[in-house]
Amino acid sequence: MDFDDLAAAWRANCAANRGFIDLCADEDLELKPGKGKTIRSNFVHILGFRRSHLEDRLKARAIEVPKLDWQTATRPEIESGLEVSDALMVEAFRRQEETGKPGRWTSTLLFFAYCIAHEAHHRSQIEIALRINGREPSDAALYALWNWPGMSKS
């Protein structure tokens, strides 16, 4: 595994998260895909998930990721939390790879894949919430979120 490729893939994943929050107007943050989480609470959940894993790997730095309220977190709070945790997660992947201490995960790659799958699941909930509430993103906006080679450089 080439760590630079893993970090580039993580950056693309993070750019997709930012792309999804950019697709949402402030009032969209309350939309739900049926009975599920609101768009706001999906983003807050992603941040909480990241923070919990950072607490295991980068204890002192994990506190940089804000604990946000799933009902009241603002767009700037979510965006800031994503930005901070985007970089810290790369540090966590690097630390795990360098120390060889996988902990619960048998490898860095397995942990990384789990994180990507988890966040993609919540992005799909966000997309469904937008669609079923009449806020369907344009095809161009959605296709842009699949330009991972371009997004991995951001």
Q: Evaluate if residue 145 carries a pLDDT over 90.
A: no
pLDDT band at 154 (very low <50, low <70, confident <90, very high): low
- Residues 42-80 have pLDDT tens digits of 999 999 999 999 998 899 999 999 999 999 999 999 999
Query: Domains along the chain?
Result: 3-151 (1.20.120)
Which ranges of the chain does DSSP label H, i.e. alpha helix?
3-23, 39-57, 59-62, 75-99, 108-132, 139-144, 148-151
DSSP secondary structure letter of residue 146: T
- Residues 1-27 have pLDDT tens digits of 699 999 999 999 999 999 999 999 999
pLDDT at 14: 97
How remote is the C-alpha of 55 from its chain's centroid?
16
Distance CA(53)–CA(117), nearest Å, equals 15
Distance CA(1)–CA(40), nearest Å, equals 34
For the entire predicted model, the pTM comes to 0.92
Q: Who has greater pLDDT, 36 or 30?
A: 30
- Residues 71-115 have pLDDT tens digits of 999 999 999 999 999 999 999 999 988 887 656 777 899 999 999
**CB neighbourhood size of 151 (10 A):** 20
